[in-house]
């Protein structure tokens, strides 16, 4: 079985080239795409309009990949979380969030993450490897198939957010074909406005995404200045905020909407003061068309961080809205099954010694008070010796 080619790994052009290698015409690729992705079929014998000779070739040379489901949990609010075994001791999580007007699937792109954000459980687990296109697409294929099984009128997945485990823009080779499949009318037919890639700020790949497959873009900002963001999102040391915002501005003309979403996880005593809200507004004013999404932090054992009080989140949002920015507060979903934003963990065979790196980072002194923390204040939740939080944002 492992010697067979997994057809979930091909967008239309790739599948057409593969079919030509079997001596088949391009239209066979279109038929296969529709059978596999629109109908959720994995049995080649059931693909009745394919020539028997082609079905015989497919039985020998191809498969529609299957990742074992290690666990499936359903939240009281309807959120569903799957844990998929991707082999080699690695497992990744995928989350479906049903709402009145949509069904959003949060998809993973890597087993682990090498970025190492201080509040991120995936980063705390370290990094094992990139997922293949087939492994990325399988998460959508499986969810859509399960959610609509026996219910042809069921909504299923209407939106995809690449906000699961991993940094999508550090896996561009696999990500772009997966995005093209999501957008292809002969596969999932999702609008570019309904597919979002979230990044911690890999600046060169933002430009590449704009050139190759522009979809909605969300950027994990989390701080209004480089000093604090260096601590929260270590990638900022390579691509500081000014470079990141410039890349976002270059992206806007290619985006399906005329703005970029900025994600901001609200951490008690760390990045949630009124002064920091005003600083954020000043940073963005006139610089970038954007929508700001405030994310209540979802704590977990030993994170060392706590959620900002609701009153402070609302006050932060009010300052931004008064400054003219469209600002939303994300509703927490699936936290009872650890499926909320910031809680995806999976299981990763770390190849990056993340625990050692993060332990060393915790021992590094922070010089002077952080923004939003006055000299002489008691140590806040964010301290140099505080363990990193769990989750990906």
Q: What's the CA angle centered on 84, arms 78 and 86, to 5 degrees? A: 160
Distance CA 347, CA 341 (A): 17
State how far Cα 343 lies from the chain centre.
Answer: 12
- With a CB cutoff of 8 Å and minimum separation 6, the contacts of 71 are 82, 83
End-to-end Cα separation, the chain, in angstroms:
36
Tokens of 313: 């989140």
Q: What is the DSSP string of 355-373?
A: HHHHHHHHHSPP-SPPTT-
13 is an active site residue: no
In whole angstroms, give the CA distance from residue 132 to residue 65.
Answer: 11
Give the SS3 label for residue 218: strand
3-state helix, strand, coil in the chain (%, to 5): 40, 20, 45
Backbone angles phi, psi at 230, to 5 degrees: -55, -35
Both tokens of 259, joined, read: 């703005």
Query: Among the options 93, 135, 167, 279, which is catalytic?
Result: 93
Helix, strand or coil, per DSSP, at residue 25:
coil
- As a whole number of angstroms, the longest Cα–Cα distance in the chain is 78
Q: Catalytic annotation on 341? A: yes
Q: Of these residues, 19, 120, 290, 341, which one is catalytic? A: 341
Residues forming the active site: 93, 341
């Amino acid at each position: 079985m492992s010697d067979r080619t997994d057809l979930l790994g091909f967008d239309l052009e790739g599948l057409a080239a593969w079919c030509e290698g079997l001596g088949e015409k391009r239209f066979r690729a279109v038929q296969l795409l529709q059978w596999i992705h629109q109908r959720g079929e994995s049995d080649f014998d059931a693909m009745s309009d394919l020539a028997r000779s082609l079905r015989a070739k497919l039985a020998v040379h191809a498969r529609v990949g299957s990742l074992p489901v290690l666990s499936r949990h359903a939240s009281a609010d309807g959120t569903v979380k799957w844990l998929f075994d991707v082999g080699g001791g690695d497992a990744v999580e995928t989350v479906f969030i049903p709402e009145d007007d949509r069904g959003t699937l949060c998809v993973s792109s890597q087993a682990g993450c090498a970025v190492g954000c201080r509040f991120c459980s995936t980063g705390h687990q370290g990094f094992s490897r990139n997922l293949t296109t087939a492994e990325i697409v399988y998460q959508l294929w499986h969810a859509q198939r399960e959610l609509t099984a026996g219910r042809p009128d069921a909504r299923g997945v209407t939106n995809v957010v690449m906000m699961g485990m991993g940094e999508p823009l550090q896996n561009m080779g696999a990500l772009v074909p997966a995005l093209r499949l999501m957008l292809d009318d002969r596969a999932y037919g999702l609008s570019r406005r309904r597919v979002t890639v979230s990044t911690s700020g890999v600046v060169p790949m933002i430009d590449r995404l704009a050139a190759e497959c522009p979809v909605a873009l969300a950027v994990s900002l989390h701080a209004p200045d480089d000093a604090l963001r260096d601590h929260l999102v270590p990638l900022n040391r390579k691509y500081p905020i000014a470079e990141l915002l410039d890349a976002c501005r270059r992206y806007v003309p290619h985006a399906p909407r005329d703005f970029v979403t900025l994600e901001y996880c609200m951490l008690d005593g760390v990045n949630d003061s009124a002064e920091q809200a005003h600083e954020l507004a000043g940073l963005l004013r006139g610089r970038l068309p954007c929508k700001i999404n405030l994310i209540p932090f979802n704590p977990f054992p030993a994170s060392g961080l706590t959620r900002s009080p609701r009153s402070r989140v609302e006050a932060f949002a009010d300052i931004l809205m008064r400054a003219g920015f469209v600002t939303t507060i994300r509703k927490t979903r699936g936290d009872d099954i650890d499926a909320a934003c910031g809680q995806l963990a999976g299981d990763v065979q770390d190849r990056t010694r993340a625990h050692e790196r993060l332990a060393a980072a915790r021992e590094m002194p922070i010089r002077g008070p952080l923004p939003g923390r006055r000299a002489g204040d008691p140590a806040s939740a964010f301290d140099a010796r505080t363990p990193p939080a769990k989750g990906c944002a």
